[in-house]
Structure 1
Amino acid sequence: MFDSVGWGEILVLIVAGLFILGPERLPAAAAWLGKTIRQVREYATGAKDQLRNELGPEFDELRKPLEDLRGLRNFNPRTAVRRSLFDDGDLFGAKPNGHAPGANSGSVTAQPHPAAAPQPEKLAPNERPPIDPDAT
């Protein structure tokens, strides 16, 4: 609950409460606030447990989309692209490059593609590369 509130903000709230309520009423107000937060947490936990008991296994099906949405909060496009390109957990079994997760890597040997273009020769130092007018 206090993930976004730092110690500086808490200190400012305590000082403001000290000026507003005074030193004699501040401890009672803090105790009331703590008791109220604890009670709200108990209500939320009780409601969640009651839903889990009433819905049974369907409760987990309800939670999955919510957890997916929570995961989008920390969405990083670079990580998503890396995961989709290089992880073996593909949904459809085989990746576009032909790699199938769980396949025995020892049984498949890499063979060059018959229509593969020959590798271009390396350029000498200070040599200008050839220009392809169709590509520019």
Structure 2
Amino acid sequence: MFNDIGPMELVTLVVLAVLIFGPDKLPKLIQDLSNIIRKVRSFSESAKQDIRAELGPEFKDFEFEDLNPKNFVRKQLMDNDDLGLKEIRNSFDLRKDMEEVADAVHGRESAPATTAAGGAVNGSATPDLLKKREKLDPGERPPFDADAT
């Protein structure tokens, strides 16, 4: 609850509380505040129990934390793989697709098929298009990127 309060801020709050309420009333105030917090917690727990009882046995696994949108999305999309999303996600080979597009842009024939690890088959190496080259050869034009213009 108070994760973002630093030590200096905490000391400042204590000093202000002593100055405002005085050292003789401060222990009674802290005790009253702790009793209020206890009552609010017990009220919220009883409300949760009432809601669970009203929902019935089909919602026995219902957690109120799941109502948080982040937790709901994580539980429904990430943990639950009914659609086979992991298999679909793993089937994309972006390196191969990028090489095919680069070859088409430069007018070259398609590169040989690559392995899943990204290495070339039959020992032939394909150039890494994302790697920056040191220098251009004399008379060589720089590569043209249609997406950058």
TM range (shorter): 0.5 to 0.7
Aligned equivalent of 2:2: 2
Higher relative contact order (CA 8 A, sep 6+): 2
Gap runs ≥5 in structure 2: 93-108, 113-124, 128-132
1:95 aligned onto 2:72: no
Q: 1:72-91 to 2 correspondence within 5 Å?
A: none
**Structure with the higher helix share, 1 or 2:** 2
Map of 2:119 onto structure 1: none
Deviation at 1:58, TM superposition (A): 3.6
* Structure 1 residues 97 and 17: alpha-carbon distance in aligned structure 2, compared to 1, 3 A threshold: closer
User: Over aligned residues, Cα RMSD in angstroms?
Assistant: 4.2
**Matches of 2:90 and 2:71, distance apart in 1:** 31
Consecutive unaligned residues in structure 1, runs of 5 or more: 73-83, 100-115
Describe the shift of the 1:51–1:117 C-alpha distance in structure 2 as closer, same or farther (beyond 3 A): same
| Residues 36-83 of structure 1: per-residue CA shift (max 9 Å, x gap) | 11111111111111111211334728763x2334578xxxxxxxxxxx
> Equivalences for 1:60-79 in 2 at 5 Å?
60=62, 64=66, 66-69=67-70
User: What is the number of residues matched between the two proteins?
Assistant: 105
State the match for 2:111 in structure 1: 118
- What SS does the aligned partner of 1:34 have? helix
With over 3 angstroms needed to count, the CA separation of the structure-2 counterparts of 1:14 and 1:121, relative to structure 1, is closer
Q: How far apart, CA to CA, are the structure 2 residues paired with 1:68 and 1:5?
A: 26
Shift of 1:91: 5.1
Does 2:31 align with 1:28? no
**Identity %, equivalent residues:** 30
